[in-house]
Amino acid sequence: MSEASPSSTHDDPLWREQLAPYARPRPLLTALDILTGPVAYLALWPLMVWSLGVSYWLTLLISIPAAGFLLRTFILFHDCTHGSLFARRETNLWFGRAFGLLVFHPFAHWRHSHAVHHGSAGDLDRRGAGDVMTMTVAEYRQAPLRARLSYRAFRNPAVMFGLGPLWALVVQPRIPPSTANRALRNSVWLTNLAVIVLVAGVCLLIGWQEYLLVQTPMVLIAGSMGVWLFFVQHQFEDVYWESSENWSYADAALRGSSHLKLPKPLQFFTGNIGLHHVHHLSTRVPNYSLQAANDGLSVFADVPVLTFWQSLRCTRFKLIDERTGRLLTWRQARQLDHAPGGLATDPAA
């Protein structure tokens, strides 16, 4: 593995002080977030139900901005789990639970798993909690054929961004992991019960077929965008991977989290989360202050930058080169001489 960067900021206390002014909720901007997130999303529901009687093509057309507002709602849910949207902990808790119902996620459980992700992103020895499963070249080579085929299927863009949204938004949040404690399991089961009651109520009001016709395209669009965002934030060629002994929280944020530069409409609907390096350095900066923090602090001058089109090419990267911490394509991995025979004779290659 590579040595810790000589320009590492993890021993520099200045960035904590410099970020402090940005890590304060601003009530008017928070209120605007709510109006342009869950309120706008819910306001489009009656319009979409009405459009079913006109043309389903019209319904699908309206589902595009509705999915954008649903994605913004998830960003607000995400901010609440970090305690950054409101000044008071209890307010973040109750609004986070409400937003969680709209995005089908249990608040306490997701808050826990996401905190683990922030505390281990880029750590080779602590992979698997809240991040995209990524094998090293050596792990892939040593895995049985069935595991390699499953991994290849999982990393296929058609699976990740096609089936992935249904898994990430609808199925996975319904299942408490075996390692979860009682409080986290209760968070999942109580959320499941609340979601059932909410969905059943809407179905009784408008009909179950109408519910599926309205909800499904929004879940698929918003879910695909969410999976894509989460993927490219930590899956690019020169991403940061270090063993635990060399791992640094600040380096993982500044070198292992991308600055995804999006067109302004996409930046709006994604709640500025493309400025992921800022968010990983300080989770208390609310979404509406991420851009200002990025523009105002010199610590962010040299972070990895991705354009929208560059981000689409990130799906080529599949395995971690454990020597350098870089992500490799299948072709690059086959060319490595890590072991006799390399990957060229791999039956799954």
More confident of the two residues 86 and 15: 86
| The residue to which tokens 């490219």 are assigned | 232
- The more confident residue out of 288 and 160 is 288
Model-level pTM greater than 0.85?
Answer: yes
Residue 269, pLDDT score: 96
Confidence of residue 341 (pLDDT cuts 50, 70, 90): very low
Mean pLDDT of 206-232: 93
Residue 104: both structure tokens together:
């089908």
- What's the confidence (pLDDT) of residue 65? 97
In the prediction, which pLDDT does 337 show? 55
pLDDT tens sequence across 112-125: 988 888 888 888 88
pLDDT per position as a tens digit, 195-214? 999 999 999 999 999 999 99
**Of 214-228, 286-300, 333-347, where does mean pLDDT reach its minimum?**
333-347
pLDDT of residue 342: 46
Q: How confident is the model at residue 12 (pLDDT cuts 50, 70, 90)?
A: low
Question: 76-85, 143-152, 175-184: which has the minimum mean pLDDT?
Answer: 175-184
What pLDDT score was predicted for residue 261? 93
pLDDT for residue 6: 37
Token pair of 335 as six digits: 């060319």
- Least confident interval from 35-49, 65-79, 141-155, 334-348: 334-348
182 to each of 49, 114, 176, 309, how far by Cα in Å? 39, 18, 10, 43
Report the candidate in 92, 74, 85, 82 with the shortest Cα–Cα distance to residue 117: 82
CA pair distance 161, 182, nearest whole angstrom:
32
pLDDT above 90 (res 10) = no
Q: Domain limits of the chain?
A: 22-335
Res. 57: pLDDT tops 90: yes
Q: Is the pLDDT of residue 344 over 80?
A: no
**pLDDT value at 1 more than 60:** no
User: Average pLDDT in the 172-190 region?
Assistant: 90
> Residue 166 has what pLDDT?
86
Comparing 40-49, 80-89, 97-106, 175-184, which segment has the lowest mean pLDDT? 175-184
Query: Can you state the angle between helices 89-102 and 107-120, rounded to 10 degrees?
Result: 100
Q: H/E/C letters for each residue in the chain?
A: CCCCCCCCCCCCCHHHHHHHHHCCCCHHHHHHHHHHHHHHHHHHHHHHHHHCCCCHHHHHHHHHHHHHHHHHHHHHHHHHHCCCCCCCHHHHHHHHHHHHHHCCCCHHHHHHHHHHHHHHCCEHHHCCCCCCCCEEHHHHHHCCHHHHHHHHHHCCHHHHHHHHHHHHHHHHHHCCCCCCCHHHHHHHHHHHHHHHHHHHHHHHHHCHHHHHHHHHHHHHHHHHHHHHHHHHCCCCCCCCCECCCCCCHHHHHHHHCCEEECCHHHHHHCCCCCEHHHHHHCCCCCHHHHHHHHHHCHHHCCCCEEEHHHHHHHHHCCEECCCCCCEECHHHHHHCCCCCCCCCCCCCC
Among 104-108, 190-194, 216-220, 248-252, the range scoring the smallest mean pLDDT is 248-252
Mean pLDDT of 21-40: 96
Record the tokens describing residue 305, joined without a space: 């930058």
Q: How confident is the model at residue 339 (pLDDT cuts 50, 70, 90)?
A: very low
Tens of pLDDT along 130-140? 678 889 999 99
325 close to 240: Cβ distance less than 8 angstroms: yes
In degrees rounded to 5, what are phi and psi of residue 104? 65, 30
Q: Report CA torsion sign: 166, 81, 155, 235.
A: positive
Give the separation between CA 185 and CA 85, rounded to whole angstroms.
25
For residue 23, what pLDDT band results from cuts at 50, 70 and 90?
A: very high
Q: What is the pLDDT of residues 279-319, one digit of tens each?
A: 999 999 999 999 999 999 988 988 989 998 888 888 899 99
* Averaged pLDDT score across all residues of the chain: 88
